[in-house]
Amino acid sequence: MTEIRNLRQLSLFPTLADDNNSLSRFSFSHEDVCAQDERIALEERYAEFLEETSKFNRKLVSYQGNKGAIIHGWIKYREGFSAQLVEDLIREFRIEPGGKVLDPFSGSSTTLLVAKSMGIDAVGIEIMSVCHLAWEAKSIFYEYDLGELKQIRAWLVDSQTEKAEARFPHITITESAFPPEAEHAIMFYTHWVENLDVSKAAKTLLRLILTSILEEVSYTRKDGQYLRWDYRPEKVRERNRIRQSQGKKPIKKVDLGPLPSVKEALVSAFDIVIADIRKLQELPFRQSHQELIKGNSMYVLPTLEPNQFDAVITSPPYCNRYDYTRTYALELAYLGEGDGIFDLRQNLLSCTVENRSKLNLLQEHYKAFGRGDRFDEILQTVWKNAAFQEINRALQNRWERGDMNNRGVLRMVEQYFTELTFIFAELLRICKPGARVAFVNDNVRYGGEVIPVDLLTTDLAVNLGFEPVKIYVLPQRKGNSSQQMSRFGREALRKSITVWRKPNGKQVHSSHSGELQSLVP
Ligand SMILES: C[S@@+](CC[C@H](N)C(=O)[O-])C[C@H]1O[C@@H](n2cnc3c(N)ncnc32)[C@H](O)[C@@H]1O
């Protein structure tokens, strides 16, 4: 591994006074309501691997780090990590051209694009169509004919927006998201693009640009779990009238100010894209192969050949209730996925309170591959993990005490770690011996119970046979939801990059204990 600069190894046994900012944590349950021995044991077991580093800061692990970066800004994917982070990890893991990297939660394909720019092969898996459109358009940057793109831009500038025949394919949650003239213009330009006599590549690019401006010309903004709405749409005003008639406070007013016209937004997005393509086409280009597979990683990974990847660099959905199908509802509806949105939500790694168990389907899948026994082993690994059991019991206890307002969180947490364990088990199988696996994730807190996602996932990975290498902790900790803060006070939570290694000779560690049974009925 290359030398890591700017590392700061902090004291592993800080005083309680600085517990909030220290690396290790000694208190997991607000006012010691629930047992926490197993979580404390996790901290002790992995303390030597925790390392705070300013090399990976908050900006770098988030989309913010991509500001101004060529190609990565073509569509704002706020859940993404930065290209710089991927490049740093690829260099740290010493992956060279000829090597092969995997991202099983590919999102806007940051990992694939960085791999491409470095001449490294890569495979991504992603479930959302909007990400696939982004990849289709970005991955062919060297094919675009700049002369053709400039011609299209000139036509676009000269175009006169007319009333469109077709209607925006709304779903319930997107209704009234656009001012009527914007909605007409979106559909007018959709039709305009379809009828342009230009190359297939240019049409793909234009579809991405149209998709990328939807939020900007709408009354909505993506905001974590939800879409935030401007006060102007009739739907929002009606909701407020109802609230007022019920004596409730109106929803906090959001004013997005003047919105750009669709044509203005298109031209300005197109200008950025053309400028990026010009710069990219001037760079030396090394042939390599990348592929983005559409589907649910839980089902796709078991179908991949063993021992093929040199590294995994990824960031799964966090265990934070963020629902991608809601925040990307405009884009998904526009791309014709509206009817499938329920199934899509159910197929996400369980990160919302609405996710149901996928275990029966997954078991069928493993059986179909003649690997039913492996399914049972993986399930035992997670269900017998002592810290996992403690967390599930603590949440159950909190629910019974009335410390939580949504029981779905219990199921989400149990499913989240169960599903990730299946992902880890498959990564172990398909990685080459010696390969590194990096996961970016946030710790979370529910009902006053801290869930050390970084250490629990590391423990599960170790139980399966990985070796821990490092748990990089970002200097900036994560805050809590206002609800958690008001009821349980502030607790700074780690944001981490866990790095594991597949051993050269397969070793399986185990720290199992207890009964094999689901704790959430
Ligand atoms: C945190 S984002 C990854 C962002 C990515 N690192 C980037 O730079 O854009 C997690 C991604 O996982 C995808 N996802 C969620 N569940 C999935 C599943 N079961 N299979 C495949 N992809 C999934 C989501 O659609 C989302 O794009």
Instruction: Write the pLDDT tens digit of every residue in 423-432.
Output: 999 999 999 9
pTM, 2 dp:
0.91
Q: Which whole-number Å values give the CA distances from 502 to 96, 102, 307, 319, in the listed order?
A: 18, 14, 10, 25
Length of the chain: 521
SS3 293: strand
Does 52 contact ligand 1 (Cβ within 6 A)?
no
Q: Residues 499, 437: contact at Cβ < 8 Å?
A: yes
The counts of H helices and E strands in the chain are 19, 13
Of 228, 227, 214, 220, nearest in space to 183 by CA: 214
Question: Rounded to 10 degrees, what is the CA torsion of 319, 321, 324, 325?
Answer: 140
CB atoms within 10 A of CB 120: 24
Does 108 contact ligand 1 (Cβ within 6 A)?
yes
Q: Residues 14, 22: contact at Cβ < 8 Å?
A: yes
Q: Rounded to an integer, what distance in angstroms lies between the CA atom of residue 453 and that of residue 445? A: 10
Summarised one tens digit per residue, pLDDT across range 381-394 is 999 999 999 999 99
pLDDT of residue 54: 81
Q: Give the residue-averaged pLDDT of 83-96.
A: 96
Q: Rounded to an integer, what distance in angstroms lies between the CA atom of residue 197 and that of residue 202? A: 10
Q: Rounded to an integer, what distance in angstroms lies between the CA atom of residue 239 and that of residue 251? A: 8
Q: Rounded to an integer, what distance in angstroms lies between the CA atom of residue 424 and that of residue 297? A: 11
Does 107 contact ligand 1 (Cβ within 6 A)?
yes
210, two tokens = 């149209």
pLDDT of residue 296: 97
Strands 220-223 and 226-229, by their bridges, are: antiparallel
Whether the predicted pLDDT of 520 surpasses 70: no
* 37 Cα–ligand 1 center, Å: 33
Q: Give the residue-averaged pLDDT of 299-326.
A: 96
Q: Which whole-number Å values give the CA distances from 334 to 187, 331, 341, in the listed order?
A: 10, 5, 12
Summarised one tens digit per residue, pLDDT across range 318-362 is 999 999 999 999 999 999 999 999 999 999 999 999 999 999 999
Does 79 contact ligand 1 (Cβ within 6 A)?
yes
